[in-house]
Structure 1
Amino acid sequence: MTETIRIEIDAQGVAQLVLARVDKHNAMSAKMMDELHQAAIDLGKNEAVRVVVLAADGPTFCAGGDLEWMREQMGADRQTRMAEARRLAMMLMALDRMPKPLIGRIHGNAFGGGVGLASVCDCAIGAENILMGLTEVRLGLIPATIGPYVIARMGAAKARQVFFQGRRFDAAEAVGLGLLARRVSSENLDAEVAREVESYLSAAPGAVARAKALVHALDGRADSAAVETSIKALADAWETAEAAEAIDAFFTRRKPRWLAE
């Protein structure tokens, strides 16, 4: 029984993998990471599943990493920080490598890790009124473990436009960056996702899995070495004075020192 996600599979083999932590704007806690990781494994092995739709309950798709989880890392030792960075990285890798098509239904805002979730989708379709952003630098952190997937999606040149500014951008820019395949009105989002899903239902499931594996084999930009680099980078970021200052400022409801003047 899951606590932070829902999984529904229909008669056609379309699985809905739904973020269900509405009260926290679907921010990813350690529990959610573990449940998403296991879901990717289980859905990948389920021969009845033809395609997976990654969606979310509530007004927000995903607000990023859970701030309480981040706060815990500030008081943790290096080994614990590395383990928690690995937890997030392995969840993203499991979704990315899942041998089923993964379609993102991005109906609401997606920040930080939410952009990472969109980036591991084979096709992400967004509502035209949403905002996205790699906001980690506002907390003195960096988009580390999501980095291999975000940069694989955008390319380094486009990543430079949004990777270290912390600014939010709209769906039109997200399409231009390559994060979203297309944007549609909120009213048409479900129909557009359904059209995307339909194309996979006429394809041979084994061939789809092999073709997806080939993309990974030929791409290589989100390979194991890149993932390991990202894990170390996130653990390093948690150990900085800036991260401690920014996260303390958030919980004490004050501006961090670089905004205080």
Structure 2
Amino acid sequence: MEDAVLLKVSPQGIATICLNRGELHNALDDRMVELLTATLQTVAEDDSIRVVVLTGEGISFSAGHDSAWLRKLTEFDEARQRRDAQKLSILLETLDHLPKPTIARVQGSAFGIGAALVACCDVSISVSEALFCFSDVKLGIIPALAAPYIVRAIGPRAARRYFVTAERINAGKARRLGLIHQTVENDELEDAVEHMCRQLLLNGPQAMVAAKQLIRDIEHRDIAPEVIALTIDRMVALRRSEEGQEGVKAFLEMRKPGWID
């Protein structure tokens, strides 16, 4: 089980995290949730890592909950069920707030929590044959932990439809809804992800973190004076930062900034 989550870091600082239970469609159980959370926390604390790619082994990105774990969950008391839900919630929050740009490399279908992992990433690139689904209502439950991230990605109107119908969503529709940013053929996936990694490596590492934080801080607020003040503060802070000063100087001097090898 120690190999259920694999981490590989390239010389360029690209960390690839692979869900490695392909024979079980990378379904998550309690141990895998803990391993994935710990791996994300490790890459978050490593300053040498510039980009994080999340992918899966085998034909599926992630089938969501492991059926054996789901069976055990039904036998637990309320306190234990709450603890397990909290662990899964921490996993999603850790990925969503990761202080690195993240790419979901969706090589196969993603259901339930698997789709939530995709929605937590900054960029999502999927093969054209992938499917997405929230089938919880078929079991008499709901995709509660995934809901905040899915609603943010596809909007409440679409979420209402797919949460109550449990229909499967093909990759093209997932792209139109906003869950997926780009769809490609199987043999194009690696190149598409590598191209996006190269794009991200051109950008200031701290600036990308600050951009992610800014969006979280303003996305649900009206354009009011306090929001305008916040944006001014952030802009000035970044312009005065070491990275901001280096980036502007490099642009004016027509050279590469220090963060580009």
The normalised TM-score by structure 2 is 0.82
In the alignment, structure 1 segments of 5+ residues that lack a partner are: 222-261
**Cα RMSD for the two superposed structures:** 1.4
Residue of structure 2 equivalent to 1:80: 80
- Give the Cα separation in 1 of the matches to 2:220 and 2:27: 28
Q: Which amino acid aligns with 1:77?
A: D
Q: Which amino acid aligns with 2:157?
A: A
Per-residue deviation at 1:61?
0.8
Range 130-139 or range 24-33, more displaced: 130-139
Q: How many residues align?
A: 221
Residue of structure 2 equivalent to 1:161: 161
Residue of structure 2 equivalent to 1:8: 8
- SS of residue paired to 2:55: strand
The C-alpha deviation readout for 1:163-199, integer Å capped at 9, x for no partner, is: 2211111101101111100111111111111111111
- SS of residue paired to 1:163: helix
User: What percent of counterpart residues are identical?
Assistant: 33
Residue of structure 2 equivalent to 1:121: 121
Per-residue deviation at 1:220?
5.2
Per-residue deviation at 1:219?
2.5
Residue of structure 2 equivalent to 1:105: 105
**Correspondence list, 1:26-105, <5 A:** 26-105=26-105
Q: Which amino acid aligns with 1:10?
A: S
- Give the Cα separation in 1 of the matches to 2:101 and 2:22: 25
Q: Which amino acid aligns with 1:137?
A: V
- SS of residue paired to 2:192: helix
The normalised TM-score by structure 1 is 0.82
The C-alpha deviation readout for 1:120-142, integer Å capped at 9, x for no partner, is: 01111110011111111122221
Q: Which amino acid aligns with 2:104?
A: G
**Correspondence list, 1:230-249, <5 A:** none
- Superposition misfits of 4+ residues, deviation over 2 angstroms: none
Per-residue deviation at 1:161?
2.4
2:132 paired with 1:132? yes
- Give the Cα separation in 2 of the matches to 1:22 and 1:140: 27
- Give the Cα separation in 1 of the matches to 2:219 and 2:2: 33
In the alignment, structure 2 segments of 5+ residues that lack a partner are: 222-261
- SS of residue paired to 1:164: helix
The C-alpha deviation readout for 1:54-111, integer Å capped at 9, x for no partner, is: 0111111101111111111211111111111111111000011000011001011111
- Give the Cα separation in 2 of the matches to 1:33 and 1:200: 27
Q: Which has the larger radius of gyration?
A: 2
Per-residue deviation at 1:2?
3.5
